[in-house]
Chain A
Amino acid sequence: MIPIAWYLVLSGILFSIGVAAFLIKRNIITVFMSIELMLNAVNLSFVAFSRNWSQITGHLQVSGQIFVFFVMVVAAAEAAVGLAIIIAVFRARNTLNVDQVDLMKL
């Protein structure tokens, strides 16, 4: 028997590590990977809440898992487009460092 709160705590820890990696990392690909890590952490909390609701209502509830399914679909599309953008940025700038891609910075 495991309290579902533990799963949520694990999800919170993973999300925070993702936030820290997003802020600290300077390589554009690693920054993108930390976004995927945050998406995964939220997916875990969706599955945990789905299980929690199932246990509270007494019969199977799958809405949370459907949410995760849609998140996965959107994440796949996002990864394809994002990596294409990274390739385009690398072609234009010849660098992967986010500090050197600052044309829109004031």
Chain B
Amino acid sequence: MHLALFIIFGALCMAGALNLLFQRHPINSALSLIVVMSSLAVLYLLLGAEFLAAAQVIVYSGAIMVLFTFVIMLLNAGEEQRTHGSKMAYFAGVPGAAILVSLLTFIFLSNRGNFAEARIGDYIASTGDLSRVLFRDLLLPFEVTSVLILIAILGAVALARKEH
């Protein structure tokens, strides 16, 4: 059960990410990024992070991606054109990413003995467990993030406003 869910949603994640890479039109990339984020929410559930799965769907696939699609439609973004820079980036980027992925895979799989094995249903972190840490030990950072959000809202409004 766990293995099947992991394979299905892991494959969906990878397919969405690759689709983001290969699509030329930004709206297609945005929609495949929504697929990636929603499948990541299922993987969080498999790892026992209930609150984060809900927050992932609401914040990432909901709020942030709506903002992205909204901006794509607002700016009427068309297909990207191939330029000299993009060919250079192909020759540097694809081998670089391939080296990175093979290195990370090698490191993780060769240290596999140090990692535990996850079973579905164990160690489920409820919202209560999270909030006990968040509002007791980390109250000050939590309050600081609200100031950060406020400043970000003001900055976004100031930047996007039409200049006279």
Contact = CB atoms under 8 A, between A and B. Distances in A.
A47 B59 CA distance: 17
Contact of A66 (B3, B47, B75, B130): B130
A99 B159 contact: no
Contacts of B74: 87
Interface of A: prevailing SS: helix
A4 B116 contact: yes
Interface of B: prevailing SS: helix
Interface string A43-75: 110011011101110001011011011101111
A83 B40 contact: no
Interface in A3-33: 3-10, 12-27, 29-30, 32-33
Contacts of A99: 83-86
Interface residues of A, number: 74
B67 A79 contact: yes
Contacts of A52: 115-116
B148 interface: yes
Contacts of B160: 83-84, 87-88
Contacts of A54: 48, 123
Given A10-B10, A12-B104, A77-B148, A65 B49 contact: yes
A19 B94 contact: no
B49 A47 contact: yes
Contacts of B2: 1-2
B85 A33 contact: no
B138 interface: yes
20 contacts: A5-B111, A10-B13, A12-B104, A14-B17, A15-B100, A17-B17, A21-B17, A24-B86, A26-B82, A40-B60, A43-B40, A65-B130, A66-B130, A68-B49, A70-B141, A79-B68, A80-B67, A83-B71, A90-B75, A99-B83
Given A1-B2, A23-B89, A72-B56, 8 more contacts: A2-B3, A4-B116, A30-B80, A33-B20, A36-B33, A56-B116, A74-B148, A76-B64
